[in-house]
Chain A
Amino acid sequence: MRVLAPMLKRIYAVFVARNREFVRDRGTLAWNILMPVILVFGLAFIFGGEGRNQYTVGVLQSAAEIDAGEHPFLQSRFIEFVPVSDEADGFRKVERHRLDLLVRFGDERRYWVNPESPRGYFAERLLLQSDAEAGGQMQKAQISGDPIRYVDWVLPGILGMNMMFSCLFGVGYVVVRYRKNGFLKRLRATPLRPHEFIVAQVASRLMLVLIVTAFVYLATHLILDTRMDGSYLTLLLVTIVGCISMVSLGLLIAARVTSEELAGGLLNMISWPMMILSGVWFSLEGAGPAVQGLAKVFPLTHILDSARAVMLDGATLVDIAPSMIMLTLLSLAFLALGAFYFRWGPD
């Protein structure tokens, strides 16, 4: 207790000071809350605004290769055709917006579309137009189960993205600023230890991210009646584990950088690929294996996969355990490297 109590007191002192700094910086606070709200509501009410000029269509067939000669639709440009061998799996992907359309060619031509998907609607128009040229035999089929609205699918993406920016820039950028202006050097001359400083930063950002995310989630949930099939406790755990992994990544990037410009560049270099490849706006179902493999290294991919599984499929902790373990391992690696490279000052 003689060691622990003063240590907790020091961590608490830095934690409180950082919270005050964040909350009183009105511009940053407003941006952290307003940006995701505007995005979610904008996407919910205006059907445009999707991030990709390309549709993903599943083709129900047993063969691994798609034969473009089978139907004129298969020759359409800007559409990614993905072979799907299992019908149930295909339906699920249409429900979850991972496929815009599922089509079966051959003797009994049929397609399945999610009536809630704006992208599915356009893909359907294109299919029917091509099909009319080919004789018009396509039958529309309802997908069984509960189709998911795009806003339900995109909400975890936007919350995750906001969390990513808040953690990476709110910790990484701030630590670099502290180092550059000498505040870290000032702290170094006190009994505060590096791990205490890091714990305070992680705790402060974790609390702020949880409050902001909960607020945005609650507002969208109440107004748009977004889908929640799983346990709130599991979702909270995903948020906490995900936030820690992002803060750790921010600390690693900021471990010894002394220039805010360089830190900004590095943080952008990390965050933009994550935003594009982790499935914030659209599913990576049609992407190549190299891109999908790369996406698995990003914490945001695991955060979004887990959050969507909990919110849309009612996944339990056991279901999402692989992603949680991956996030924990990534956090440990980032923290270990960050602590190893950490420098108080430019020296």
Chain B
Amino acid sequence: MQIALEARNLVKRYPGVVAVNDVSFSVTEGICFGLLGPNGAGKTTTVEIIEGVTPATSGEVYYFGELAGRRFREEAGIQFQNTALQDYLTVRETLEMFQNLYDRHADLDRIIEDCSLGDLLDRDNRKLSGGQRQRLFLAVALVNEPRLVFLDEPTTGLDPQARRNFWTLVQRIQANGTTIILTTHYMDEAHVLCDEIAIMDAGRIIAGGPPDELLRNRYDGLVIELPLEDIAGDLDGIEHVIYENQGIVEIMSTDVSSSLDALASRVRNLNRIKIRQPNLEDLFLDLTGHSLRS
């Protein structure tokens, strides 16, 4: 597989702030690549530089080995986080208008079916719900049969059911061989959809690789979670107390049995203890020292 996209040393400075600070990464063709981080980490600015809608202070973007330009615009599909459509146009007219801006054409009927827009074709753009708009934005991003699709926070504001439906849709697109670049602050979304991730914080990439590999390399064990109020004494001598957040203490343990033994004498109520696999949220907390949603 060849490299579909490569970002080299991207920098974006605004007066008094460096939004993107020397960001480099590459994306292999056909994978789903996730750019993760909290709000304000620089994810959207990074992808907008790559998409060509925000000029970089410095750095280059390569698309299949050449500087991203006209071919990239023709072959990329982009779903923006915040955008608008023309008022008074129907869903079908919007799709046709955008399709006519490209030389490459996807089969519109298939996109309409994939994005479940069949019942909405004659509806005015202004009268779509949040989930319906997101599906239309995705459909607009697919009208040119893109080789590379950008999805910027695609499920923000959707209910859990709509989010899961959206994930299925994204997996279907990826199954066709389309490369996907996803930005999100939902770790579960990234874990489900992404083959590779890069974690951003304060304008920099602080870790990158396949999610499971990142977790395996970092953690050798399980996470024990228990409410802070259930702890009677102190936790001195307990290995790897990794975080205490919103009344929950998380302990990374390589030997759960001995950890539970050690906790038994200091915890009032063992009924509320949870034991689980470490996840990307733990990794982020561990790497940055602050919560993703803070």
Nearest chain B CB to A190's CB is how many angstroms away?
4
For B90, the closest partner residue in chain A by CB is A20
A16 within 8 Å of B (CB atoms): yes
Residue of A16, A183, A189, A192 most packed against chain B (CB within 10 A): A189
Q: Which residues 42-84 in B have Cβ within 8 Å of A in the complex?
A: 51-55, 70, 73-74, 76, 78, 80, 82-84
A-B residue pair count with CB separations less than 8 angstroms: 75
Q: Is the CB of A189 within 8 A of B73?
A: yes
Nearest chain B CB to A180's CB is how many angstroms away?
9
- Cα of A345 to Cα of B44 in the assembled complex, Å: 15
A186 within 8 Å of B (CB atoms): yes
Contact with B along A170-187 (1 / 0, CB 8 A): 000000001001110111
- Cα of A13 to Cα of B93 in the assembled complex, Å: 10
Q: Which residues of A contact B82 (CB under 8 A)?
A: 182
A: number of interface residues (CB 8 Å): 28
Asked, given contacts A10-B101, A13-B101, A14-B97, whether A189 binds B87 with beta carbons under 8 Å apart, the answer is: no
For A191, the closest partner residue in chain B by CB is B73
B: number of interface residues (CB 8 Å): 29
Contact with A along B87-99 (1 / 0, CB 8 A): 1110001101110
Q: Is the CB of A20 within 8 A of B88?
A: yes
Q: Which residues of A contact B70 (CB under 8 A)?
A: 191
Q: Which residues of A contact B52 (CB under 8 A)?
A: 188-189
The 8 Å CB contact of B103, one of A6, A181, A188, A192, is A6
A88 within 8 Å of B (CB atoms): no
B102 within 8 Å of A (CB atoms): yes
Q: Is the CB of B100 within 8 A of A12?
A: yes
Q: Which residues of B contact A345 (CB under 8 A)?
A: 53-54
Q: Is the CB of B101 within 8 A of A20?
A: no
For B12, the closest partner residue in chain A by CB is A347
- Cα of A9 to Cα of B97 in the assembled complex, Å: 10
Q: Is the CB of A17 within 8 A of B86?
A: yes
A86 within 8 Å of B (CB atoms): no
B85 within 8 Å of A (CB atoms): yes
Q: Is the CB of B103 within 8 A of A182?
A: no
- Cα of A6 to Cα of B78 in the assembled complex, Å: 20
Residue of B55, B76, B100 most packed against chain A (CB within 10 A): B100
Q: Is the CB of B89 within 8 A of A186?
A: no
Q: Which residues 330-347 in A have Cβ within 8 Å of B in the complex?
A: 344-345, 347
A146 within 8 Å of B (CB atoms): no
- Cα of A286 to Cα of B221 in the assembled complex, Å: 93
The 8 Å CB contact of A13, one of B80, B84, B97, B140, is B97
Nearest chain A CB to B219's CB is how many angstroms away?
39
Q: Is the CB of B73 within 8 A of A17?
A: no
Nearest chain A CB to B291's CB is how many angstroms away?
29
Q: Is the CB of B102 within 8 A of A191?
A: yes
Q: Which residues of A contact B93 (CB under 8 A)?
A: 17, 20
- Cα of A16 to Cα of B73 in the assembled complex, Å: 22
Q: Is the CB of A186 within 8 A of B83?
A: yes
Q: Which residues of B contact A344 (CB under 8 A)?
A: 53
- Cα of A25 to Cα of B88 in the assembled complex, Å: 7
- Cα of A307 to Cα of B84 in the assembled complex, Å: 40
Q: Which residues of B contact A187 (CB under 8 A)?
A: 101
Q: Which residues of B contact A89 (CB under 8 A)?
A: none
A21 within 8 Å of B (CB atoms): yes
3 closest A-B pairs by CB = A13-B100, A181-B84, A24-B88
Please name 12 further chain A to chain B contacts, defined as beta carbons within 8 Å, in addition to the given A191-B70, A191-B73, sorted by A numbering. A21-B87, A25-B88, A178-B84, A183-B83, A183-B85, A185-B53, A186-B84, A186-B140, A189-B53, A190-B98, A191-B74, A345-B53
A–B complex contacts, Cβ < 8 Å, 10 sampled: A10-B101, A18-B86, A20-B93, A21-B88, A185-B80, A186-B85, A188-B52, A189-B52, A191-B70, A191-B73
